[in-house]
A = this chain, B = another copy of it.
Amino acid sequence: MDRLTIIKVGGKVVEEPESLNALLDQFKKVSGYKILVHGGGRTATEIANKLGIETKMVDGRRITDADMLEVVTMVYGGLVNKKIVAGLQSRNCNAIGLTGADLDLIKAKKRPVKDIDYGFVGDIDDVNTHELRILINENIIPVIAPLTHDGNGNLLNTNADTIASEIATELANSFSVYLFYCFEKRGVLLDAEDDSTVIHDLDTALFSQYKNEGVINAGMIPKLENGFRAKRKGVKEVLITNAENIATGRGTRLV
């Protein structure tokens, strides 16, 4: 099967011109078919603030009322996505920006209200990769914003890490899928302050141990759980790394 690399990039990296350019330079060097999944939370918070819309977060997740949904639709689907697409085109990478509504790529259900009403936040129901595979096979590079739709005309705000792992899993039958979570650090660190303490290979036993010992940062845990699940479901390789190493493949490998 052909190699397909899916790179999820956190907000900060894609939200500043300098780090975005550095990322796209590295992204261009990644060989084989590729997909970029991005965030954009900092910009959403900033624009919301300017519009007088208050940002409320619970455990790092954004409460998305109707006004905030308009903001994330603008920022993720428009501002951040199209800047990345234009940046890739200038590097002769034939990119196309997508949300989960485009091509009916990702259907989701509005999260049921339990203790917290997250508002227009979507939990993924169904990933439809038929048209996505046509694009990939035409050497087109999908750039995916963290938005889904409910099939009734409503967009929903959806976690980018989850989108990346769901798409990776769904494409694992058609491609040899490499899933890279790209963030500020060089990998999962034993000491968050020391970049030289990258854990090179992480298996589930070691993950459990580090989790229990509190060695692994709380914010990293859902990302790793997503990653291990993707690996169990046929994704060939899952790597946690930074923008500088997406082409070298160095970082923390889930094994």
Residues of A whose CB lies within 8 Å of any CB of B are: 47, 50-52, 70, 73-79, 81-83, 85-87, 89-90, 94-99, 101-104, 131, 134, 138, 140, 147, 149, 151-155
Contact = CB atoms under 8 A, between A and B. Distances in A.
A155 to B, nearest CB: 5
How many copies of this chain are found per oligomer? 2
A81 B155 CA distance: 12
Given A73-B82, A95-B103, A96-B98, 20 more contacts: A50-B52, A73-B78, A73-B79, A78-B79, A82-B99, A82-B155, A85-B99, A85-B101, A85-B102, A86-B101, A86-B153, A89-B151, A90-B149, A90-B152, A94-B104, A94-B131, A96-B103, A96-B131, A131-B138, A134-B138
B52 A86 contact: no
A151 B50 CA distance: 30
A27 to B, nearest CB: 13
A121 to B, nearest CB: 15
